[in-house]
Protein backbone atom coordinates (compact mmCIF):
# COMPACT_ATOMS: atom_id res chain seq x y z
CA UNK A 1 0.00 0.00 0.00
CA UNK A 2 1.90 3.06 -1.25
CA UNK A 3 2.42 6.73 -0.45
CA UNK A 4 0.24 8.22 -3.17
CA UNK A 5 0.69 11.84 -2.15
CA UNK A 6 2.93 12.86 -5.06
CA UNK A 7 0.60 11.16 -7.53
CA UNK A 8 -2.72 12.53 -6.24
CA UNK A 9 -1.85 15.88 -4.67
CA UNK A 10 -1.55 17.79 -7.98
CA UNK A 11 -5.25 17.11 -8.61
CA UNK A 12 -6.17 18.87 -5.38
CA UNK A 13 -3.76 21.77 -5.83
CA UNK A 14 -4.94 22.44 -9.39
CA UNK A 15 -8.64 22.45 -8.53
CA UNK A 16 -10.41 25.77 -9.18
CA UNK A 17 -13.97 27.04 -8.73
CA UNK A 18 -15.48 28.89 -11.68
CA UNK A 19 -16.24 32.49 -10.84
CA UNK A 20 -14.41 32.45 -7.49
CA UNK A 21 -10.83 33.70 -7.20
CA UNK A 22 -10.21 33.53 -3.47
CA UNK A 23 -6.42 33.49 -3.81
CA UNK A 24 -3.87 32.52 -6.46
CA UNK A 25 -2.60 29.75 -4.19
CA UNK A 26 -5.91 28.69 -2.62
CA UNK A 27 -6.65 25.01 -2.09
CA UNK A 28 -10.38 24.52 -2.55
CA UNK A 29 -12.36 21.70 -0.90
CA UNK A 30 -12.78 18.70 -3.22
CA UNK A 31 -16.23 17.54 -2.12
CA UNK A 32 -16.59 15.31 -5.20
CA UNK A 33 -14.54 12.49 -3.70
CA UNK A 34 -11.28 13.72 -2.24
CA UNK A 35 -12.25 15.45 1.02
CA UNK A 36 -13.36 14.86 4.59
CA UNK A 37 -17.01 14.88 3.52
CA UNK A 38 -16.39 11.63 1.66
CA UNK A 39 -15.06 9.73 4.68
CA UNK A 40 -18.40 8.81 6.33
CA UNK A 41 -19.57 7.20 3.09
CA UNK A 42 -16.21 5.44 2.85
CA UNK A 43 -16.49 4.13 6.40
CA UNK A 44 -19.94 2.77 5.62
CA UNK A 45 -18.60 1.05 2.52
CA UNK A 46 -15.68 -0.50 4.39
CA UNK A 47 -18.05 -1.89 7.03
CA UNK A 48 -20.60 -3.15 4.52
CA UNK A 49 -23.25 -0.66 5.64
CA UNK A 50 -25.64 1.47 3.64
CA UNK A 51 -24.11 4.83 2.63
CA UNK A 52 -24.60 8.09 4.48
CA UNK A 53 -24.29 11.59 3.06
CA UNK A 54 -21.80 12.36 0.31
CA UNK A 55 -20.45 9.50 -1.83
CA UNK A 56 -17.42 7.52 -0.74
CA UNK A 57 -13.93 8.55 -1.82
CA UNK A 58 -13.15 8.58 -5.52
CA UNK A 59 -11.79 5.28 -6.92
CA UNK A 60 -8.12 6.36 -6.93
CA UNK A 61 -8.42 7.20 -3.25
CA UNK A 62 -10.67 4.30 -2.27
CA UNK A 63 -8.91 1.35 -3.91
CA UNK A 64 -5.75 1.45 -1.72
CA UNK A 65 -7.89 1.11 1.42
CA UNK A 66 -9.11 -2.40 0.64
CA UNK A 67 -12.69 -3.61 0.58
CA UNK A 68 -14.29 -4.93 3.78
CA UNK A 69 -13.38 -4.91 7.46
CA UNK A 70 -14.95 -6.02 10.69
CA UNK A 71 -13.54 -3.04 12.56
CA UNK A 72 -12.66 0.48 11.44
CA UNK A 73 -10.75 2.83 13.76
CA UNK A 74 -10.64 6.52 12.91
CA UNK A 75 -7.90 8.54 14.64
CA UNK A 76 -8.65 12.25 14.35
CA UNK A 77 -5.51 14.24 15.14
CA UNK A 78 -6.67 17.82 15.47
CA UNK A 79 -4.46 20.24 13.55
CA UNK A 80 -2.30 17.62 11.77
CA UNK A 81 -1.97 19.15 8.32
CA UNK A 82 -0.55 17.09 5.47
CA UNK A 83 2.58 19.18 5.13
CA UNK A 84 3.16 18.95 8.87
CA UNK A 85 2.72 15.16 8.90
CA UNK A 86 5.13 14.71 5.99
CA UNK A 87 7.93 16.03 8.21
CA UNK A 88 7.72 12.80 10.23
CA UNK A 89 7.57 10.22 7.44
CA UNK A 90 11.26 9.40 7.65
CA UNK A 91 11.04 8.73 11.39
CA UNK A 92 9.72 5.74 13.33
CA UNK A 93 7.10 4.40 13.38
CA UNK A 94 5.80 6.01 10.18
CA UNK A 95 8.73 4.96 7.99
CA UNK A 96 8.36 1.38 9.29
CA UNK A 97 4.68 1.28 8.35
CA UNK A 98 4.83 2.82 4.87
CA UNK A 99 5.31 -0.53 3.12
CA UNK A 100 2.02 -1.81 4.48
CA UNK A 101 0.12 1.47 4.84
CA UNK A 102 -1.41 3.90 2.36
CA UNK A 103 -0.94 7.66 2.55
CA UNK A 104 -3.40 9.80 0.61
CA UNK A 105 -3.98 13.56 0.49
CA UNK A 106 -7.42 14.98 1.27
CA UNK A 107 -8.86 18.44 1.53
CA UNK A 108 -10.60 19.73 4.59
CA UNK A 109 -13.83 21.70 4.30
CA UNK A 110 -14.46 25.44 4.25
CA UNK A 111 -14.01 26.87 6.77
CA UNK A 112 -11.12 24.60 7.73
CA UNK A 113 -11.93 24.49 11.42
CA UNK A 114 -12.79 21.95 14.07
CA UNK A 115 -16.50 22.54 14.72
CA UNK A 116 -17.25 22.53 11.00
CA UNK A 117 -14.97 19.67 9.95
CA UNK A 118 -15.93 17.32 12.79
CA UNK A 119 -19.61 17.87 12.03
CA UNK A 120 -18.87 16.89 8.44
CA UNK A 121 -17.01 13.77 9.62
CA UNK A 122 -20.03 12.74 11.69
CA UNK A 123 -22.67 13.47 9.06
CA UNK A 124 -21.21 13.19 5.57
CA UNK A 125 -22.70 16.64 4.92
CA UNK A 126 -20.93 19.74 3.67
CA UNK A 127 -20.84 22.88 5.85
CA UNK A 128 -23.56 24.62 3.86
CA UNK A 129 -25.75 21.55 4.35
CA UNK A 130 -25.24 20.91 8.08
CA UNK A 131 -25.08 24.59 9.03
CA UNK A 132 -22.12 24.56 11.47
CA UNK A 133 -20.12 27.33 9.84
CA UNK A 134 -17.29 28.11 12.21
CA UNK A 135 -16.11 28.48 15.78
CA UNK A 136 -18.23 31.61 16.26
CA UNK A 137 -21.69 31.63 14.73
CA UNK A 138 -24.63 34.02 14.76
CA UNK A 139 -27.72 32.07 15.80
CA UNK A 140 -30.61 34.38 15.04
CA UNK A 141 -33.11 31.95 16.52
CA UNK A 142 -31.40 32.32 19.91
CA UNK A 143 -30.39 35.96 19.57
CA UNK A 144 -26.65 35.54 20.16
CA UNK A 145 -23.25 34.84 18.69
CA UNK A 146 -22.38 31.39 19.98
CA UNK A 147 -19.29 29.32 20.61
CA UNK A 148 -20.01 26.21 18.53
CA UNK A 149 -17.71 23.93 20.51
CA UNK A 150 -18.79 24.86 24.05
CA UNK A 151 -22.35 25.82 23.05
CA UNK A 152 -22.45 29.04 24.99
CA UNK A 153 -22.42 32.75 24.23
CA UNK A 154 -19.08 33.87 22.77
CA UNK A 155 -18.46 36.31 25.62
CA UNK A 156 -19.59 33.88 28.33
CA UNK A 157 -17.10 32.65 30.92
CA UNK A 158 -17.55 29.28 32.64
CA UNK A 159 -20.90 28.66 31.01
CA UNK A 160 -20.38 25.47 28.98
CA UNK A 161 -23.70 24.39 27.50
CA UNK A 162 -25.35 27.66 28.47
CA UNK A 163 -27.27 27.80 25.19
CA UNK A 164 -29.66 25.26 26.68
CA UNK A 165 -31.22 28.07 28.74
CA UNK A 166 -32.32 29.65 25.48
CA UNK A 167 -33.96 26.45 24.28
CA UNK A 168 -30.97 25.04 22.38
CA UNK A 169 -30.86 21.25 22.30
CA UNK A 170 -27.61 19.73 20.95
CA UNK A 171 -29.39 16.43 20.35
CA UNK A 172 -31.81 17.93 17.83
CA UNK A 173 -29.94 20.99 16.50
CA UNK A 174 -28.45 19.42 13.37
CA UNK A 175 -30.70 19.24 10.30
CA UNK A 176 -28.97 16.05 9.08
CA UNK A 177 -28.54 12.54 10.60
CA UNK A 178 -25.31 11.50 12.28
CA UNK A 179 -23.03 8.59 11.46
CA UNK A 180 -23.47 7.06 14.90
CA UNK A 181 -27.22 6.66 14.57
CA UNK A 182 -26.90 5.53 10.96
CA UNK A 183 -24.44 2.74 11.76
CA UNK A 184 -26.21 1.77 14.97
CA UNK A 185 -29.40 1.12 12.98
CA UNK A 186 -27.38 -1.36 10.89
CA UNK A 187 -26.03 -3.21 13.94
CA UNK A 188 -22.60 -1.61 13.90
CA UNK A 189 -21.26 -0.85 17.37
CA UNK A 190 -20.09 2.78 17.51
CA UNK A 191 -17.80 4.33 20.13
CA UNK A 192 -16.17 7.73 20.53
CA UNK A 193 -12.99 8.15 22.59
CA UNK A 194 -12.28 11.75 23.61
CA UNK A 195 -10.23 13.37 26.34
CA UNK A 196 -12.08 13.78 29.62
CA UNK A 197 -11.75 17.58 29.41
CA UNK A 198 -14.01 17.75 26.34
CA UNK A 199 -15.86 14.44 26.42
CA UNK A 200 -19.10 16.11 27.48
CA UNK A 201 -18.75 19.41 25.63
CA UNK A 202 -21.68 20.68 23.62
CA UNK A 203 -20.07 19.64 20.34
CA UNK A 204 -19.32 16.15 21.64
CA UNK A 205 -22.89 15.69 22.82
CA UNK A 206 -24.23 16.87 19.47
CA UNK A 207 -22.03 14.63 17.32
CA UNK A 208 -21.66 11.53 19.53
CA UNK A 209 -25.25 11.21 20.69
CA UNK A 210 -25.66 7.68 19.26
CA UNK A 211 -22.17 6.45 20.15
CA UNK A 212 -20.79 4.91 23.31
CA UNK A 213 -18.82 7.82 24.76
CA UNK A 214 -15.56 6.86 26.47
CA UNK A 215 -13.46 9.53 28.18
CA UNK A 216 -9.73 8.98 28.56
CA UNK A 217 -7.19 10.81 30.71
CA UNK A 218 -3.78 10.11 29.12
CA UNK A 219 -2.48 8.51 25.94
CA UNK A 220 -1.61 5.29 27.75
CA UNK A 221 -5.09 5.24 29.24
CA UNK A 222 -6.49 5.72 25.73
CA UNK A 223 -4.65 2.87 24.03
CA UNK A 224 -5.19 0.30 26.79
CA UNK A 225 -8.88 1.15 27.09
CA UNK A 226 -9.32 1.12 23.32
CA UNK A 227 -7.64 -2.27 23.00
CA UNK A 228 -9.82 -3.71 25.74
CA UNK A 229 -12.92 -2.28 24.06
CA UNK A 230 -12.01 -3.84 20.73
CA UNK A 231 -11.43 -7.22 22.39
CA UNK A 232 -14.81 -7.02 24.09
CA UNK A 233 -16.53 -6.39 20.76
CA UNK A 234 -14.35 -8.60 18.58
CA UNK A 235 -17.33 -10.52 17.18
CA UNK A 236 -19.29 -7.40 16.23
CA UNK A 237 -18.83 -4.89 13.46
CA UNK A 238 -17.44 -1.75 15.06
CA UNK A 239 -16.61 1.83 14.20
CA UNK A 240 -14.32 3.50 16.71
CA UNK A 241 -13.59 7.23 16.63
CA UNK A 242 -10.61 8.56 18.57
CA UNK A 243 -10.02 12.29 18.98
CA UNK A 244 -6.65 13.71 20.09
CA UNK A 245 -6.22 17.47 20.22
CA UNK A 246 -2.86 18.39 21.77
CA UNK A 247 -1.12 19.41 18.53
CA UNK A 248 -3.85 21.91 17.73
CA UNK A 249 -3.79 23.42 21.21
CA UNK A 250 -0.01 23.84 21.25
CA UNK A 251 0.09 25.15 17.69
CA UNK A 252 -2.47 27.82 18.56
CA UNK A 253 -0.50 28.87 21.60
CA UNK A 254 3.09 28.70 20.33
CA UNK A 255 2.77 28.40 16.50
CA UNK A 256 2.74 25.19 14.42
CA UNK A 257 6.42 25.86 13.71
CA UNK A 258 7.35 25.63 17.38
CA UNK A 259 9.14 22.55 18.76
CA UNK A 260 6.40 21.82 21.31
CA UNK A 261 3.73 20.42 18.96
CA UNK A 262 6.42 18.39 17.16
CA UNK A 263 7.57 16.81 20.41
CA UNK A 264 3.99 16.12 21.41
CA UNK A 265 3.29 14.39 18.11
CA UNK A 266 6.42 12.27 18.56
CA UNK A 267 5.05 11.15 21.94
CA UNK A 268 1.72 10.33 20.33
CA UNK A 269 3.47 8.26 17.64
CA UNK A 270 5.55 6.38 20.23
CA UNK A 271 2.47 5.32 22.22
CA UNK A 272 0.52 4.58 19.03
CA UNK A 273 3.26 2.18 17.92
CA UNK A 274 2.81 0.11 21.07
CA UNK A 275 -0.93 -0.07 20.44
CA UNK A 276 -0.45 -1.13 16.81
CA UNK A 277 2.09 -3.80 17.73
CA UNK A 278 -0.26 -5.23 20.32
CA UNK A 279 -3.21 -5.28 17.91
CA UNK A 280 -1.19 -6.85 15.12
CA UNK A 281 -0.25 -9.71 17.40
CA UNK A 282 -3.83 -10.41 18.48
CA UNK A 283 -6.09 -9.29 15.61
CA UNK A 284 -7.40 -11.42 12.78
CA UNK A 285 -6.36 -8.94 10.06
CA UNK A 286 -9.93 -7.65 10.02
CA UNK A 287 -9.23 -4.12 11.26
CA UNK A 288 -8.38 -0.93 9.39
CA UNK A 289 -6.89 2.00 11.26
CA UNK A 290 -7.38 5.36 9.55
CA UNK A 291 -5.73 8.57 10.68
CA UNK A 292 -6.71 12.00 9.43
CA UNK A 293 -7.15 15.57 10.65
CA UNK A 294 -9.82 18.24 10.61
CA UNK A 295 -7.40 20.90 9.28
CA UNK A 296 -3.81 22.08 9.45
CA UNK A 297 -2.46 25.36 10.84
CA UNK A 298 -0.33 28.30 9.77
CA UNK A 299 1.89 30.63 11.78
CA UNK A 300 0.15 33.96 12.36
CA UNK A 301 2.42 36.37 14.24
CA UNK A 302 0.68 38.91 16.42
CA UNK A 303 0.22 42.20 14.60
CA UNK A 304 -1.57 45.24 15.98
CA UNK A 305 -2.70 46.12 12.47
CA UNK A 306 -5.01 43.09 12.44
CA UNK A 307 -6.66 43.90 15.79
CA UNK A 308 -10.05 45.41 14.90
CA UNK A 309 -10.15 47.27 18.20
CA UNK A 310 -7.68 49.59 16.49
CA UNK A 311 -10.08 50.24 13.61
CA UNK A 312 -13.24 51.89 14.99
CA UNK A 313 -14.10 53.44 11.62
CA UNK A 314 -14.33 49.96 10.16
CA UNK A 315 -16.25 48.35 13.02
CA UNK A 316 -18.71 51.26 12.86
CA UNK A 317 -19.79 49.81 9.51
CA UNK A 318 -20.83 46.55 11.20
CA UNK A 319 -23.98 45.67 13.10
CA UNK A 320 -21.96 43.25 15.25
CA UNK A 321 -18.41 41.98 15.50
CA UNK A 322 -17.37 39.59 12.73
CA UNK A 323 -18.19 35.91 13.26
CA UNK A 324 -16.85 32.67 11.82
CA UNK A 325 -13.06 32.40 11.96
CA UNK A 326 -10.18 34.86 12.28
CA UNK A 327 -9.02 33.31 9.01
CA UNK A 328 -12.47 33.38 7.34
CA UNK A 329 -14.65 36.12 8.87
CA UNK A 330 -18.32 36.77 8.16
CA UNK A 331 -19.41 40.42 8.12
CA UNK A 332 -22.84 41.74 9.09
CA UNK A 333 -22.94 45.22 7.56
CA UNK A 334 -25.02 48.24 8.41
CA UNK A 335 -27.44 49.16 5.65
CA UNK A 336 -25.91 51.72 3.31
CA UNK A 337 -22.36 51.22 4.61
CA UNK A 338 -21.36 48.28 2.43
CA UNK A 339 -19.18 50.29 0.06
CA UNK A 340 -17.57 52.19 2.95
CA UNK A 341 -16.60 48.93 4.67
CA UNK A 342 -15.07 47.43 1.54
CA UNK A 343 -13.23 50.66 0.75
CA UNK A 344 -11.74 50.69 4.25
CA UNK A 345 -10.51 47.12 3.85
CA UNK A 346 -8.85 47.85 0.50
CA UNK A 347 -7.10 51.00 1.71
CA UNK A 348 -6.08 49.83 5.18
CA UNK A 349 -4.95 46.31 4.31
CA UNK A 350 -4.13 46.47 0.58
CA UNK A 351 -4.00 43.04 -0.99
CA UNK A 352 -4.45 41.25 2.34
CA UNK A 353 -8.16 40.45 2.24
CA UNK A 354 -10.59 39.54 -0.54
CA UNK A 355 -14.26 40.28 0.10
CA UNK A 356 -17.14 38.37 -1.46
CA UNK A 357 -20.93 38.67 -1.19
CA UNK A 358 -22.20 35.75 0.86
CA UNK A 359 -24.60 34.80 -1.91
CA UNK A 360 -21.69 34.47 -4.34
CA UNK A 361 -19.79 32.23 -1.93
CA UNK A 362 -22.79 29.97 -1.46
CA UNK A 363 -23.53 29.81 -5.18
CA UNK A 364 -19.91 28.92 -5.92
CA UNK A 365 -20.11 25.65 -3.99
CA UNK A 366 -17.17 26.55 -1.75
CA UNK A 367 -19.16 25.31 1.22
CA UNK A 368 -21.15 22.71 -0.67
CA UNK A 369 -23.98 22.65 -3.16
CA UNK A 370 -26.90 21.72 -0.90
CA UNK A 371 -27.75 24.69 1.33
CA UNK A 372 -29.59 24.43 4.66
CA UNK A 373 -32.29 27.09 5.02
CA UNK A 374 -30.56 28.80 7.97
CA UNK A 375 -27.06 28.82 6.47
CA UNK A 376 -27.27 32.19 4.63
CA UNK A 377 -28.42 34.16 7.68
CA UNK A 378 -25.60 32.66 9.76
CA UNK A 379 -23.02 34.02 7.29
CA UNK A 380 -24.15 37.63 7.14
CA UNK A 381 -23.56 39.88 4.13
CA UNK A 382 -19.91 39.34 3.20
CA UNK A 383 -17.32 36.56 3.50
CA UNK A 384 -13.70 37.70 3.83
CA UNK A 385 -10.80 35.53 2.67
CA UNK A 386 -7.47 36.59 4.22
CA UNK A 387 -4.40 36.18 2.04
CA UNK A 388 -1.14 34.55 3.13
CA UNK A 389 -0.85 34.91 6.94
CA UNK A 390 -3.35 37.75 7.44
CA UNK A 391 -6.21 37.50 9.92
CA UNK A 392 -8.50 39.66 12.04
CA UNK A 393 -8.73 39.65 15.82
CA UNK A 394 -11.90 41.14 17.26
CA UNK A 395 -12.33 39.70 20.75
CA UNK A 396 -12.24 42.24 23.57
CA UNK A 397 -9.06 40.78 25.05
CA UNK A 398 -5.41 40.47 24.16
CA UNK A 399 -4.62 38.17 21.28
CA UNK A 400 -2.95 34.98 22.64
CA UNK A 401 -2.69 33.02 19.36
CA UNK A 402 0.40 32.36 17.29
CA UNK A 403 -1.21 29.75 15.03
CA UNK A 404 -4.57 29.73 13.27
CA UNK A 405 -6.69 27.93 10.72
CA UNK A 406 -9.98 28.33 8.87
CA UNK A 407 -8.62 29.68 5.60
CA UNK A 408 -7.72 28.31 2.19
CA UNK A 409 -3.93 27.96 2.27
CA UNK A 410 -2.41 24.55 1.59
CA UNK A 411 -1.18 24.26 5.18
CA UNK A 412 -4.72 24.77 6.48
CA UNK A 413 -6.67 22.87 3.85
CA UNK A 414 -4.62 19.75 3.09
CA UNK A 415 -4.80 16.85 5.52
CA UNK A 416 -3.45 13.29 5.43
CA UNK A 417 -5.39 10.07 5.25
CA UNK A 418 -3.09 7.38 6.62
CA UNK A 419 -4.52 3.85 6.38
CA UNK A 420 -2.92 0.89 8.15
CA UNK A 421 -4.46 -2.61 8.23
CA UNK A 422 -4.12 -4.35 11.59
Question: What is the structure's pLDDT at 1?
Answer: 61
Phi, psi (deg, nearest 5) at residue 342: -70, -35
Question: What is the structure's pLDDT at 131?
Answer: 98
Question: What is the structure's pLDDT at 156?
Answer: 84
Distance, CA of 3 to CA of 19 (rounded, Å): 33
Distance, CA of 84 to CA of 166 (rounded, Å): 41
* Residues in CB range of 137: below 8 A, 6 or more apart: 145, 146, 148, 323, 324, 378
Q: How far is CA 24 from CA 238, 306, 414, in A?
A: 43, 22, 16
| Span 342-380, pLDDT tens digits | 999 999 999 999 999 999 999 999 999 999 999 999 999
Distance, CA of 85 to CA of 152 (rounded, Å): 33
Q: How far is CA 406 from CA 116, 295, 349, in A?
A: 10, 8, 19
Question: What is the structure's pLDDT at 166?
Answer: 87
Question: What is the structure's pLDDT at 159?
Answer: 81
Q: What is the side-by-side strand order in the sheet with 414-421?
A: 102-107, 414-421, 287-292, 71-77, 237-244, 188-195, 212-216
Question: What is the structure's pLDDT at 380?
Answer: 97
Question: What is the structure's pLDDT at 157?
Answer: 81
Distance, CA of 324 to CA of 395 (rounded, Å): 12
What parts of the chain have a pLDDT lower than 70?
1
| Span 12-70, pLDDT tens digits | 999 999 999 999 999 999 999 999 999 999 999 999 999 999 999 999 999 999 999 99
Question: What is the structure's pLDDT at 115?
Answer: 98
* Residues in CB range of 411: below 8 A, 6 or more apart: 81, 83, 84, 256, 296, 297, 298
Terminal-to-terminal C-alpha distance of the chain:
13
Amino acid sequence: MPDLTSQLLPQLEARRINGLDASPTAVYPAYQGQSLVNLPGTICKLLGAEPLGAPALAPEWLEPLGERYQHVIMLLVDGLGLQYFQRFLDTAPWKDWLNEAALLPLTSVTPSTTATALTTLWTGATPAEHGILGYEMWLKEYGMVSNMILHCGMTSVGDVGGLRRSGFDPLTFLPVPTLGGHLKAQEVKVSAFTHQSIAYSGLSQMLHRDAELIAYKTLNDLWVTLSDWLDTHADERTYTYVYWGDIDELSHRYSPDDIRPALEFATFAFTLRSFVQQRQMTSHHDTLMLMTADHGQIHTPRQEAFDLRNHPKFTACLTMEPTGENRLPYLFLRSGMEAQAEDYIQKTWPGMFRVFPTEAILQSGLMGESIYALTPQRMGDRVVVPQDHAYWWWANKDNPLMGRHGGLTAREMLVPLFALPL
